[in-house]
Every structure is written in C-alpha cells, then in structure tokens.
Amino acid sequence: MALKDVILAADPTPKPSGGTVDGLVNGLAPDWGPFASVGGTARTVIQAIMAAVILILLGRALIGVIHLKVGGSQHDTVQVKQGQKELAGSLVAAFIVASIGTLFTIVYGMGL
C-alpha cells in the first residue's frame, strides 16, 4: 500500500456531498431530533425565521462596525463603545441562533 493511500484512508475530513451548498446551510435547516417530527410547512417556517434573524443580526453587526469607524475617525469614545457593544452582541446572538438546532437536539436527547 502506498503512502498516499494510507494518508487518504486516515483522512477524517468530511467530503462534500454532491458538491451542493446543502451541507453548508444544513445548520439553518434542522431536520433531526425534535425537528424530525415537525411537518414540512412548520420546518420551512422555522428555517425562514432562523435565516431572517441571522440576517438581521449580521446587519446590526455591520451597523456596529460603522459606529466603530465613524467614532474612531471623529475620536468619539462613546460611539466607539456603542459600536463595540453592538458588534459583540450581534455576533454572539447570531452564533446562538445558528446553533439553536443543535441545542434543541441535545436537550431533546437528554429528555429534559
């Protein structure tokens, strides 16, 4: 067996399935755990709400960056602090919303 074959066999990196974007946005489209028993229409509504909230939070983070830039150029420390708070809060909230499917699955699996 060649060294290349050994390296490829030991590679734990997941391979893309079919070369589509489905694997990338699968976190926004939960269909496991408690979401498996939800109907198709309800699942679509959940996906749309999660995607909209993430887009709103990313827009809010962009506004925070604008506050940082403007405050920094005008030497306005209040505006810089406001921009930092908006940016940090928006990114943390976007992470929480993006991982909420996994959190629900963990809680559902524990039977809580």
Question: For the ranges 21-25, 29-33, 50-54, which has the lowest average pLDDT?
Answer: 21-25
Question: Residue 71 above 80 pLDDT?
Answer: yes
Average pLDDT value for residue range 90-111: 81
Which contacts of 23-28 are long-range, i.e. CB under 8 A and separated by 24 or more positions? 27/98, 27/99, 27/101, 27/102, 28/54, 28/98, 28/101
The whole model's pTM is what? 0.59
